């Protein structure tokens, strides 16, 4: 997925890699990708060292390992001055997350966390509507993310994705990390609001699974905005049903990832305006959204294109950084290392609240040097 996303716009080339913990498999994969064998490495440490030496070394590395490796790999590359694109959740502990925040600042590199749902044009339109004040003062946020694929113990049936994602040593948290952080980020990205308090109900539904697979969270955002977050991987029959609703004094909005090219503006039912459907590729999208649209109206873009929007912005941000100039606004529009730390803090806070069966403080400010 990362490879397709990077390839789509032709702004990045894959030229080197360490593709597996098995050196053999790494080389095999390098072959499949027609890479120069000299640049296919046995370990990421070796890769970081060697590429740092090369005059034509890589500019940026993509980290798509299981979660428990993110911190070490990211640190290794950041410390050698490479820019980083990293999958979420950023790390498995808050300590590691904050460590990355500090290193990114110290090394002055670009760090992009792939909360890819923030790459959808209609999500950016939602954010634009909030910023334009079309919703009035915000009052309530409902974000949900039901999936059903872990409805049974796939991890016991040899499913590779299921295996590491439900292994606490490799994944850290379960549903909270895998999809909860997406939900938390999406709400924060669109509304600009951070969590202040929460009361979580995190649990494991499928017997024998050592990580959480279902979570519901009562929340309070900055300014007292009421919130509700619920995510699940055991909701039988649900595919990837991430949805965000935001309500303000004047209007609401509703976006669903499974129909990502539309956004509903829920106009006040006591008013004269009928409901409005924003759709992909039309002139009605905000100017700030237009750079993220590749196809004309009615030609759906999907998951890969949203992912590619992050890659393209990061590529431009990196190029601007290298050139010592300010990137254009759209090229600064991707999740950062601070977003990553906020995500890890969210996971830890939810687990703590659930264990205590109590409301807890959820406010957080990531470290900046």
Secondary structure element (H or E) that encloses residue 300, with its range:
none
Binding mask 10-49 for a second copy (x = CB under 8 A): x----------------------x----------------
How near is the Cβ of 7 to a second copy at its closest, in Å? 5
Instruction: Determine how β-strand 138-146 pairs with β-strand 226-232.
Output: parallel
DSSP state string for 57-116: --SEEEE-S-HHHHHHHHHHHHHTT-EEEE-SS--SSHHHHHHHHHHHHHHT--EEE--G
257 sits near a second copy (criterion: CB under 8 A): yes
How near is the Cβ of 175 to a second copy at its closest, in Å? 12
b/e map of 57-95 (b: 16 or more CB within 10 Å)?
A: bbbbbbbbbbbbbbbebbbbbbebebbbbbbbbbbbebe
How near is the Cβ of 183 to a second copy at its closest, in Å? 14
DSSP state string for 350-363: HHHHHHHTSEEE--
64 sits near a second copy (criterion: CB under 8 A): no
Contact positions with a second copy (CB under 8 A) in 95-114: none
9 sits near a second copy (criterion: CB under 8 A): yes
304 sits near a second copy (criterion: CB under 8 A): yes
If the CB atoms of residues 33 and 156 are measured against a second copy, the closer one turns out to be 33
251 sits near a second copy (criterion: CB under 8 A): yes
How near is the Cβ of 223 to a second copy at its closest, in Å? 12
- CB contact set of 88 (below 8 Å; sequence gap of 6+): 113, 114, 115, 177, 181, 182, 185, 335, 340, 343
If the CB atoms of residues 33 and 95 are measured against a second copy, the closer one turns out to be 33
265 sits near a second copy (criterion: CB under 8 A): yes
149 sits near a second copy (criterion: CB under 8 A): yes
If the CB atoms of residues 227 and 343 are measured against a second copy, the closer one turns out to be 227
If the CB atoms of residues 201 and 222 are measured against a second copy, the closer one turns out to be 201
Terminal Cα-to-Cα distance of the chain (whole angstroms) = 33
Helices 121-131, 181-191: crossing angle, 10 deg rounding: 40
Residue 288 to residue 225: CA distance in whole angstroms: 26
Binding mask 204-233 for a second copy (x = CB under 8 A): -x--------x-x-x-------x-x-x-x-
If the CB atoms of residues 21 and 161 are measured against a second copy, the closer one turns out to be 161
């Amino acid at each position: 997925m990362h490879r397709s996303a990077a390839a789509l716009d032709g702004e990045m080339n894959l030229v080197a890699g360490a593709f597996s913990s098995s050196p053999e498999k790494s080389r095999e994969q390098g072959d499949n990708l027609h890479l120069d064998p000299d640049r296919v490495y046995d370990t990421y440490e070796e890769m970081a060292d060697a590429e740092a030496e090369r005059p034509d070394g890589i500019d940026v590395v993509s980290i798509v390992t299981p979660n428990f490796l993110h911190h070490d790999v990211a640190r290794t590359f950041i410390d050698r001055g490479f820019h980083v694109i990293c999958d979420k959740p950023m790390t498995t502990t808050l300590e590691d997350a904050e460590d990355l925040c500090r290193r990114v600042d110290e090394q002055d590199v670009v760090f992009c966390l792939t909360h890819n749902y923030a790459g959808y044009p209609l999500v950016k339109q939602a954010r634009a509507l909030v910023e334009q004040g079309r919703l009035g003062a915000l009052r309530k946020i409902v974000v949900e993310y039901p999936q059903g694929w872990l409805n049974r113990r796939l991890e016991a049936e040899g499913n590779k994705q299921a295996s590491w994602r439900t292994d606490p040593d490799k994944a850290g948290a379960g549903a909270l990390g895998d999809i909860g952080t997406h939900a938390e980020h999406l709400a924060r990205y669109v509304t600009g609001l951070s969590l202040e308090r929460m009361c979580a109900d995190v649990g494991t539904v499928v017997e024998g699974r050592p990580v959480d697979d279902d979570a519901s969270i009562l929340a309070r955002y900055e300014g007292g905005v009421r919130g509700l977050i619920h995510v699940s991987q055991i909701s039988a029959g649900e595919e990837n049903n991430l949805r965000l609703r935001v309500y303000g004094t004047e209007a609401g909005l509703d976006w669903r990832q499974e129909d990502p090219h539309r956004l509903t503006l829920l106009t006040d039912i006591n008013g004269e305006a009928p409901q409005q459907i924003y759709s992909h590729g039309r002139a009605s999208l905000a100017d700030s959204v237009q750079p993220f649209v590749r196809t004309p109206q009615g030609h759906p873009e999907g998951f890969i294109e949203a992912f590619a929007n992050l890659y393209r912005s990061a590529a431009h941000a990196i190029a601007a950084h290298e050139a010592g100039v300010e990137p254009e606004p759209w090229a600064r529009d991707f999740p950062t290392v601070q977003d990553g730390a906020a995500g890890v803090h969210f996971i830890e806070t939810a687990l703590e609240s659930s264990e205590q069966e109590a409301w807890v403080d959820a406010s957080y400010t990531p470290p900046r040097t």
